Amino acid sequence: METRIDTIKDGTVTTPRGFHAGATAAGIKHVGSDKLDLGILFSQEPCVTAGLFTTSRIKSAPVLLCQECLKKGRALTVVVNSGCANASTGKQGLADAAEMASLTAKAIGVDPEEVLVASTGVIGQRLPMERIREGLNHISLSDNGGHELARAMMTTDTVPKEIAVAFEVEGSLFTIGGVVKGSGMIHPNMATLLCFLTTDAAVEPAFLHEALRRAGDISFNMVSIDGDTSPSDTLLLLANGMAGNTPIVSGSPSADLFQQALDRACVHLAKAVARDGEGATRLLEVTVNGAKSRTDAAQAARTIVSSPLWKTAVYGRDPNWGRVVAALGRSGAEVEETRLDVRIGEILVLKGGMPQPYDESDVVWVMERDEVPVTLELNLGTASATAWGCDLTEKYVMINSQYTT
- Least distance (Å) between residue 25 CB and a second copy: 24
Residue 32 or 90 having the CB closest to a second copy: 90
> Nearest CA to 207 among 248, 148, 266, 166?
248
Which residues are 394's β-sheet partners?
none
Amino acid identity at 100: M
Between residues 46 and 329, which has the closer beta carbon with respect to a second copy?
A: 329
Closest separation in Å from C-beta 262 to a second copy: 26
Query: In the chain, what are the helix, strand and coil shares in percent, each to the nearest 5?
Result: 35, 25, 40
Show Cβ contacts of residue 223 under 8 Å, excluding neighbours closer than 6 positions: 186, 187, 188, 192, 270, 271, 273, 274, 387, 388, 389
Beta-carbon count within 10 A of 397 CB:
12
Between 175 and 393, CB nearer to a second copy: 393
Rank residues 102 and 400 by Cβ distance to a second copy and give the closer one. Answer: 400
The CB-of-111 to a second copy minimum distance in angstroms stands at 28
Angstrom distance (rounded) from CA 299 to CA 296? 5
CA angle 330, 331, 334 (to 5 degrees): 100
Between 102 and 320, whose beta carbon lies closer to a second copy? 320
**Residue 3: partners with Cβ closer than 8 Å, 6 or more residues away:** 257, 260
Whether 192 is catalytic is yes
Task: Tell me the closest approach of the beta carbon of residue 390 to a second copy, in angstroms.
Answer: 13
Give just the sign of the alpha carbon dihedral 139, 144, 146, 150.
negative
Torsion of CA 191, 196, 197, 200, to 10 degrees: 150
Nearer to a second copy, 116 or 380 (CB): 380
- For 357, the 3-state DSSP assignment is coil
Given the complex with a second copy, which of 104 and 183 has the nearer CB atom? 183
Active-site choice (24, 89, 192, 393): 192
Q: Minimum distance between the CB of residue 401 and a second copy, rounded to whole angstroms?
A: 3
* Identity of residue 161: K
> If you ran DSSP here, which 8-state letter would residue 203 be given?
B
CB of 180 to a second copy, least distance (A): 19
Using DSSP's 3-state secondary structure scheme, residue 165 falls into strand
- Within 10 Å of residue 369's Cβ, how many Cβ atoms? 12
- Residue 293 Cβ vs a second copy, minimum distance, rounded to whole Å: 15
Positions annotated as catalytic residues are 192
